[in-house]
Structures are given as C-alpha cells and as structure tokens.
A = this chain, B = another copy of it.
C-alpha cells in the first residue's frame, strides 16, 4: 500500500513541490475545472490543482509532467469564454498562477515586469498613479490576470487606438517541453533579431508552454477623456460617420456601437432615455491633453452634425462617464431578458456593417432567437449576443446552431471567428476554415516543436 502511494504521481508531485502547492480535494479539483464559458462543454476532473510560487516550481512541475506524460492545463482567473482553461483529460494537473502575482515597475524605462498571476486592473491602477498607462482592457480586466491576457492576446474597446496585448509585450519568459526555459525579447521597445517567437507565444492559449514572467511596455497616461454619443437612423450612416471621423485627424480611443435591439434591451432594463426607434448608437471617446481632447471632441461633434446625426457631447469628465452608462448596462440588461446568452466576438471589415447586421438578424429569426449586437466598431469587432432560455435544452441547441451559421457568415466576409475570446474548445472546428490546410500544418509543426508530447493544454485551439 505504501509503495502504491509512493508511486502515485500526485503524491510524488506533492513531495517534489511541497504539500501546500498541490491541492487534491475533490471540491477544488471540480471548481478548477470550470471557466466562464456560457455553453456546455466536456470537462474532466484533474488529478490535482497546482499552485506554483515561483519559476523553479514551474520548471519542476513541467519536468515531472513531461517525464510522467501528464497533461497540464494552465489557468489565469478562469474568466475565459471559450473553454481555454478547462481540463479535458483526467490524467492532468490544472496549474493556477494565483500565487505568482508580483510586479515591479521600472519607471526610467517605462516598463513593468509582471508575474502571470497579477490581476490586470491592479497593475493598471498602480502604473496610472505614476503617470503611465497599460492600455489592454478586456472587459474582464478587474479580475483577469496578465498570464491569461497574454495567453489570449486580450483586447478591448481601447485597442482601436492602442493595440492589443501582444503590442505591449517586450519580453517573455516561459517553460516549454521537458522543463526547458526560454527567455524571449528584452526590455527595449525595438528588437528585430530572429523570428518573433514572443509574438507567437502571445495568443497561443497555453498550448506552447507556461509563461512565468513578462516585461510589458507602458506608455504615457492620457490626461483626459471626453465622450460623444451619436444616434443613428440608418446603419449606412454609422459606417459613413466612422470613416469621416477616422479620416479627419481625430483618433478616438474608443468607438463603440450598439444596435437597435441592444438599445431596447438597455431601455427596458434601466430607462436611461435612449431613443427606442434608433437603428444604432455610437459612443465616441477621445483622450489626450486637456485642450487636445476638447478640440477633438468638437471636431467629432461637427462631423456628426454636418451629417444630420443627433449628437450629445460631454465637455467634462462627469457627463462623459454618464454617457457610458448605457454601454455598461448592456451585460445586465441582456441578462435580464433571458437566462442564457452566447456572446460571440466575431470580426468583419467594418464597412460591411449595414449588410452584415441584417443577415445576422436573419440567422436569429431562422432559429427563433433574440439577438442583440454591440461592439468595437472601429475594429469591426462585434459582439453578437444570441439570447436563449437556459432551462430549455432545445432552445440552447438552436442557439449553438445559430452560432455555427454566424461563423460561416463571418468568414464569407473575410472576417475572423474571434477578435478577443480565443479559439479554446468552442471554436476549434472553425479554425481550419480560416487557416486552410497549409496553415494548419504549420500550426501543428510549431506546436510539436514547443510541446512534442502534446501535454500543454491538449485539445485546445486545434487537434494535433
């Protein structure tokens, strides 16, 4: 009996790392097998949940798992929406980086060194006090972690002007096959030596190895933000307005769209006074120096008025924030309508909006579902929300069928199946549509170079 216990991999890992770093309670193991994915997915209960406290723990863990052929499922805050952090085989460990949560700002070089478990909002609040800015703003930023953000190449409304997570990574340290350590990049802004392995790692959804630390670029913090809200009676005008704004010399820090049904949902929920008959609504935010933002928001107002578009501009911080109430109420408003919501994050060239949106509504109609669309129209990144009754499995299945059709439609517009959420488990079957056979072969080759035993987050993004 004692010999069996000694041979048991969980006990051996406990001996290797220390008991407190390997949790084997069934409650924890089950808890850590979930993320925020809204649709049912297959999941397994892992052997244990590992909490590394430093790089050495991670190396030991990977060495051990590579020796024993045990799968590793890395996890940030579990806020992912596509099953990326969900364990899919039983002979596995979930690795949570919550104990590796320290960071250090280097003010002189405008960079921050962060461990993977740092909560994005904590880092952002800290650097903003120093006059610096870390722009990536996924809607989960208050609880999601830097490691998760790196794995998913997280973005948000600000990415139109400031780019996505990948654009802020200057250096990366990771543990790959057999516990080998790679140090990529350096704490400098420009570096063109060799292939961009760092950029490859960012957005690889934990399938290439475990990130143990990153050097992130910080930029000067904009001093002020102002917002305009525009009400449109036609979707064509939304596109025209966006083009006019973006060729006027104004560079909005956010350009958010809400469609007719999203507006109505917010009104039903909160009654903030939006016109229920409008076809769409645009929130335009600018940031910069005090007189710069006033000038820019004035230009936006002028453009919209010259188009005959109803526009409300805030020239101070407080009323600016009020204008965002509607946008921020969207989540709860939609949740109020139906118990289930599939929030997809497809991307299409933004000029397609007026043609694309009616076709999305046709899909919803075909499957007899409610749909509300909002998103980052500047990047063409639209959150298509199919609403359904969670207690009705038949309606849930219809919602999943609608999503499949939405992806087909998206790809027919030369778009992308995911602008923010990643592929994970739920979008796997669509990836080859986007990459083609040659591209898929290259992806598999790269996966095999970093992880020949397919132990890092196996079964995610694509099958080997």
The chain A residues found within 8 Å of chain B, CB to CB, are 106-111, 130-132, 152-153, 155, 159-160, 163-164, 166-167, 176, 180-184, 186-197, 199-200, 202-204, 208, 219-223, 239, 243, 246-251, 288-296, 299, 347-351, 376, 378-381, 414-423, 427, 431, 434-436, 438-439, 441-443, 445-446, 449-450, 461-462
Contacts and interface: CB of A to CB of B under 8 A. Distances in A.
Contact of A188 (B111, B195, B292, B419): B419
Contact of A182 (B155, B419, B439): B439
A462 B195 CA distance: 10
Nearest to A446: B195
Contact of A164 (B190, B193, B293): B190
A144 to B, nearest CB: 14
Q: Shortest 10 CB-CB distances between A and B: which pairs? A: A292-B292, A131-B247, A190-B419, A189-B379, A108-B351, A445-B449, A199-B199, A191-B416, A223-B249, A188-B347
B166 A416 contact: no
A194 B417 CA distance: 10
Given A130-B247, A220-B247, A442-B182, A194 B423 contact: yes
Contacts of A438: 176, 180-182
Contact of A351 (B109, B186, B247, B349): B109
B251 A421 contact: no
A167 to B, nearest CB: 6
Nearest to A433: B193
A294 B188 CA distance: 29
B194 A431 contact: yes
A381 to B, nearest CB: 5
Contacts of A167: 163, 167
8 contacts: A106-B351, A108-B350, A109-B351, A188-B348, A192-B421, A197-B200, A250-B289, A289-B296
Contacts of A379: 188-190
B350 A109 contact: yes
**Residue of A130, A191, A294, A443 with highest tally of chain B CB at under 10 A:** A191
A150 to B, nearest CB: 12
A438 B251 CA distance: 42
A202 B196 contact: yes
**Residue of A192, A197, A420, A423 with highest tally of chain B CB at under 10 A:** A192
A22 to B, nearest CB: 27
**Residue of A107, A203, A415, A443 with highest tally of chain B CB at under 10 A:** A203
B381 A220 contact: no
B202 A108 contact: no
Nearest to A419: B190
**Residue of A247, A299, A449 with highest tally of chain B CB at under 10 A:** A247
A422 B196 CA distance: 12
